[in-house]
Amino acid sequence: MAIIGLSLVTLWSLVAVWMLIDVRRELRTALDDRLAASARMVAGLVMQMPRESMAAGKPMESARDVVARDGLACEVSLLRGEVTMQPVARTTSSPGLRDVQPGYSTRSFGGKLWRTYVLQEGGIRIATADRIDVRERLLQDIALTAGIPFAIALAGSLLLLWFGIGSGLRPIERVRAALALRGPSDTAPLPDTQAPPELRPLVDTIEHLVGRMQDAMARERRFTDDAAHELRTPLTGIKTHLQVMRLAARKADGAPVAQQALADAERGVLRLQNTLDQLLLLARLEGSLQPAPRGRSFADAAAKLAIDDAQAGQHVKGRVRLVLPNRTSALAVPESLLVCALRNLLDNAMRYSTGPSEVVLRVEMHENHTVTFCVCDEGPGLSEVDCALATQRFWRRGAASQGSGLGLSIVSEIASCYAGSLQLRPRNPVGLEACLTFPANSDQQTSADVAPASAY
The model's pLDDT over 270-324, given as tens digits with 9 standing for 90+, comes to 666 666 666 666 666 665 545 555 677 888 898 998 888 787 755 555 578 888 8
Q: How many percent of the chain have pLDDT more than 90?
A: 5
The model's pLDDT over 38-76, given as tens digits with 9 standing for 90+, comes to 888 888 877 776 665 555 455 544 444 454 555 677 888
Of 150-154, 215-219, 393-397, which has the strongest mean pLDDT? 150-154
Question: Is residue 454 over pLDDT 80?
Answer: no
The answer to pTM > 0.85 is: no
Q: Buried b vs exposed e over 194-223: b needs ≥16 C-beta within 10 Å?
A: ebeeebeeebeebeeebeeebeeeeeeeeb
Tell me what pLDDT residue 12 has. 87
Tell me what pLDDT residue 267 has. 66
